[in-house]
Amino acid sequence: MNMKKIIYIIPLMIGSVCACNDDFLERAPQDQLTDANFWQNEQHLQSVANTFTESLQGKYWLNMTEIMADSAPWAVTTAFRTIGAGNYTTETSQINSIWEDAYTNIGRVNYFLNNYGRAESVSTEIRERYAAEAYFYRAYNYWILTTYFGDVPYITEELNVESPDVYRGRDDRDYIIDEITGDLEEHYRNLPEYIEAASADFGRVSQGAALALLSRIYLYNERWEDAVNAAERAMENSYYDLYDTGKPEEDYVNLFNYAGRASRNADNHEVMLAFVYNYDLGESARTSHNLSRECWVPNDYARFVPTASMIECYLTDTGEIWDPSECDSYEEIFQHRDPRMTMSILAPGTKWTATSSEDPQNSDPSIYTYPKLNNTRNGCMTYTGYYMRKYIEPSTIQYVSHDDNDIIILRFGEVLLNYAEAKERLGSLTQDDLDISINRLRDRVGMVHLDLGNLPAGSDIRTEIQRERRVELYFEGHRYFDIIRWGQGNLLAEDLLGVNRRWLDQDRIAANLDELTWVNKDGEEYLLLETGRQFSDPRHYLLPVPFTQYQLNPNLLPNNPGW
């Protein structure tokens, strides 16, 4: 067996030292960095710690998560959409990539934690701050692994071909959660209480970010009391708050575009951790992504597209469940709804920069009025009848890969939702709890409060908390995991649908509606994006250990249930 191919062995080497008998020859070279002379100063520590942020994936995190779920999938078939549809095997390469990437990142962390103490000239305070970042990222990567795969090998040492852990079996998920939360609880106070928005250090880990991650990990593993406690500690941090400038029609939108990005806007105290891009650094150093253009591509089809289930999820602006049967036109879909709907999904009358949708009733291509359902390479076509608005920076649509708005990983709004959900699961949720969590989110956009004594007809508080999470955290990478941990895998087996045919006016659409594919749902015809999806319990509640991995290490078997 070729040991060098075992995926979770990631030796991160600064240099190499020749093994010779002569003492002189064994001395480390003085004019180049080697492992022997590397761990000398804070710059050395920081240079390794800077690699940890690759764990966050940036925009690719949305590819991995949103495409697998039912709210904003990729418009055409991709590997991640196939995984979400339950049509995959142990040999699907993207599943192996999830495993490989996480262990690559864990390898970097372990390398650091096993060596940072050698920087004896650096103060203990500084050394331990970087170590706390390392513990954060090890916890983050094991959160990813345990959420996707359940039991996995828990590796904390640097490995080489002779390490016994090379052939380590899988450790129990609960044990791993104990270990990573224990590390975070022990070390998070060595981090700064917060990282100021728009500062040079923004993008590094703070106590607030660590507590937000703790609340998430506890919540995902049904440790309700711990989740409440971690969320409360984060909520007590006086620096972090919702991004709210007193403009309810703009603030939620701007949180995700250039106007509010925390890496540049000092007033944004909501974002606790983000993957930061910077196109202004120059050709050799700039970083960017292409999310805006992918959603509003001006001469092709929109890549990420909202689905019918997401459209119908939003409540009315009076807090009632929206009834599709009472809607009679495309424009009415967006009227009198939770304001976050039109801040997340493009509504008629909104400015856009994706050129004309070929609506003959629209003489101003800078205003969106109607969906384009055929791809003539002139304007932006949509496969569902809907377009994204969240995360769109209109000024970059005309360029390829010019976006450098932050991709948010942890924010204060999620902490509030974690708190409310954990309190409800404990059976101790009060109206005061809702008012300091969910209703703060609603106040930002001018939405009516969630009232324990006046829930939407036919619903219950758990359903409404789950709805609130889907609405507030839409297109931020949470939906697939929420479906899995709520035991609602059947939702992933449902067809991916678009707009209701009855709401469309043929005279405003160049495509022949009769030539499109429609399916019946509740007596109505909906545009079909994908059928043939499946979900088998328990098979699809966890991804399988990848074929590549158990071929290299048979001790990873038996595989997950159903595999």
3-state secondary structure 135-154: HHHHHHHHHHHHHHHCCECC
Strand partners, 74: 304
pLDDT of residue 357: 85
**CB contact at 8 A, 356 and 440:** no
CB 248 within 8 Å of CB 256 = no
Helical segments of 50-187, H only: 60-65, 79-84, 93-113, 124-149, 173-187
Quick one: which of 151, 263, 142 has its CA closest to 214? Answer: 142
Q: Note the maximum CA span of the chain.
A: 87
pLDDT tens readout for residues 93-121 = 999 999 999 999 999 999 999 999 999 99
Q: Mapping DSSP to helix (H, G, I), strand (E, B) and coil, where does residue 444 land?
A: helix
- Cα dist from 132 to 35, 80, 128, 218, whole Å: 22, 32, 6, 19
DSSP run (H or E) holding 310: helix 308-313
Distance set, CA 90 to CA 94, 177, 529 (Å): 10, 25, 26
* CATH fold of the domain at 191-276+406-472: 1.25.40
Instruction: Tell me the C-alpha distance between 554 and 560, whole Å.
Output: 14
Question: Kind of pairing, strands 271-275 and 524-530?
Answer: unpaired
* H-type alpha helices, 385-489: 412-426, 431-435, 438-445, 461-472, 479-485
Cβ-based neighbours of 306, under 8 Å, separated by 6 or more: 71, 72, 344, 345, 384, 386, 387, 388
Nearest alpha-carbon partner for 421 in 409, 406, 438, 435: 438
What is the spatial distance between Cα 192 and Cα 276, in angstroms, rounded to a whole number?
Answer: 19
The pTM of the full predicted model, rounded to 2 decimals, is: 0.94
Cα–Cα distance between 453 and 519 in angstroms, integer?
Answer: 38
What is the DSSP secondary-structure string of 401-422?
A: S-B---EEEEEHHHHHHHHHHH
Angle between helices 412-426 and 438-445 (to 10 degrees): 140
Query: Is there a contact between 186 and 29 (Cβ–Cβ < 8 Å)?
Result: no
Tally the residues of the chain: 563
Cα separations in angstroms, 409 against 73, 141, 265: 19, 13, 17
Find tokens 């300091």 and name the residue: 436
Residues of the chain with CATH 1.25.40.390: 191-276+406-472
Give residue 519's pLDDT.
98
pLDDT in tens, the chain (563 residues): 333 333 333 333 333 333 333 443 344 444 555 777 899 999 999 999 999 999 999 999 999 999 999 999 999 999 999 999 999 999 999 999 999 999 999 999 999 999 999 999 999 999 999 999 999 999 999 999 999 999 999 999 988 877 888 899 999 999 999 999 999 999 999 999 999 999 999 999 999 999 999 999 999 999 999 999 999 999 999 999 999 999 999 999 999 999 999 999 999 999 999 999 999 998 889 999 999 999 999 999 999 999 999 999 999 999 999 999 999 999 999 999 999 999 999 999 999 999 888 899 999 999 999 999 999 999 999 999 999 999 999 999 999 999 999 999 999 999 999 999 999 999 999 999 999 999 999 999 999 999 999 999 999 999 999 999 999 999 999 999 999 999 999 999 999 999 999 999 999 999 999 999 999 999 999 999 999 999 999 999 999 999 999 999 999 999 999 99
